[in-house]
Structure 1
């Protein structure tokens, strides 16, 4: 009976050890996932900054093209003998400039919107990483509780087995065996 008790207690301790290892593995996995999510956040932030720079460059290119167009229009007016700085030609050039400014603002707004969307995805990645870490901690806690239960079961098995051996031993004083006296 003592050998069976010892083997049972040993098995329960190995179960506890396995549960502890599983908890540690769950936490390691969660930490890895959190690191990946943080990396993804940095990538989204970099993409957002790039989108803002590209949007600024698009606006500058548009301005340059527009300046050339305005210069050609002014030249065409002057070649035809019309004063480009007065009357209808001026109004046409001003309307074109206003439209160009609206287009530039649209380009900048689109770039800022895209950048904001990318940053939001980065924030979502960071939050998902924090959630993965919390889930890992909870899994580790669950495994640690199961391990503690297995340790207590092993101790209980050993105590029970020890009591059975002790009570079966002669002169134990526990009523087991025969007392001489």
Structure 2
């Protein structure tokens, strides 16, 4: 059901260089070894990652997850994806590189997707500069869109406008945000 071979199951139960196994079965780590549903999900994650990455990379990613980032939940609680170069922890707001650049938020990995490109002679706009007064910079707030020249998230300004605050009054909340920038948000 997990897609793992018996040999892989044995390997993932063995302690690695950091002294911890990839997976300790929740129900019974002793013979007979019994896996929980969460264990099954975790094993399937490892099998899926193994299609793109080596076992050493998977161990390195899980070590970074546990010890580098301090995440202590069951492996099944995390969404992990791999490409040919690394393994990412995917969260709602961002992704974190767990192998190549351990613990670094990786929005810059997706920069090419944010830059303008063409589809059937139609230009798809630049999301690094979505509007005149907005910008996206991986070094500012992890790549979250902000008002140009500030660290003010566009979402906070847009929320004030949705709540009925006039663009001219936004400066009472954020002095560095012009009415034009507020409208762009």
Please indicate, yes or no, whether the TM-score normalized by the shorter chain is above 0.5.
no
Q: Which of the pair has the greater relative contact order for Cα pairs under 8 Å at 6+ separation? A: 1
Rg bigger for which structure? 1
| Bigger share in strand | 2
Normalised TM-score (structure 2): 0.18
Normalised TM-score (structure 1): 0.18
